[in-house]
Amino acid sequence: MAVRKTRLAVLVSGQGSNLQALIDAISVGILDAEIALVLSSKPRAFALERAGKARIPTAVASWKAFVEEFGRSRRETYDAALAGIVAGYDPDFIFLLGWMRVLGRSFLDHFPGKVVNLHPALPGTFPGEGAIAKAWESGQAGKTKVFGAMTHFVPDEGVDSGPVILSESLPLENFASLEGFEAAMHRLEHRLVVETAKKLCNYKE
């Protein structure tokens, strides 16, 4: 009887470079898992093209279209619909990789201990959007010397505040420009998300 590989669902909203890191790690045997679904909140997200090239099932749940039809006050309905889509692919873990929406209980309660977020900052620092730019500005002002990235579980609606899985630091003083810093941060993110997936796959076993 064949052993089932760890199944990952990946939620995206944009370019999907961290998704690509997982796809590449699986393709060369670094990561023993399969991506069961890539779900995007935006129909034109480039991440969907990456998934298509890798023959990974995709789905779109456009938040913008939902708001136009039902209004923002129906957020719980949207989250419940997301949960229904994701549950249909029976994932062991759900990775939020550039997913630009806070998920509520209508989603999270369906997947306790399974939702993982990647955030480009160290625990307790620079929550929310624009963390890399904020860290650079803080560094230029002499307020921050070390930055980094982390992966963490998402047990509730807290923003980038769940239990940490892995984190790694990156000294700001090593970089002369925001562009160089951003490139290094993205390389760090790619490495961290693959190492996190490997760790969770081992944990599942």
Active site residues: 119
- Helix (H), strand (E), coil (C) string for the chain: CCCCCEEEEEEECCCCHHHHHHHHHHHCCCCCEEEEEEEECCCCCHHHHHHHHCCCCEEECCHHHHHHHHCHHHHHHHHHHHHHHHHCCCCCEEEECCCCCCCCHHHHCCCCCCEEEEECCCCCCCCCCCHHHHHHHHHHCCCCCEEEEEEEECCCCCCCCCCEEEEEEEEHHHCCCHHHHHHHHHHHHHHHHHHHHHHHHHHHC
Instruction: Tally Cβ neighbours within 10 Å of residue 16.
Output: 23
Residue found by looking up tokens 């997936």 in the block: 197
In whole angstroms, what is the distance from residue 1 CA to residue 93 CA? Answer: 23
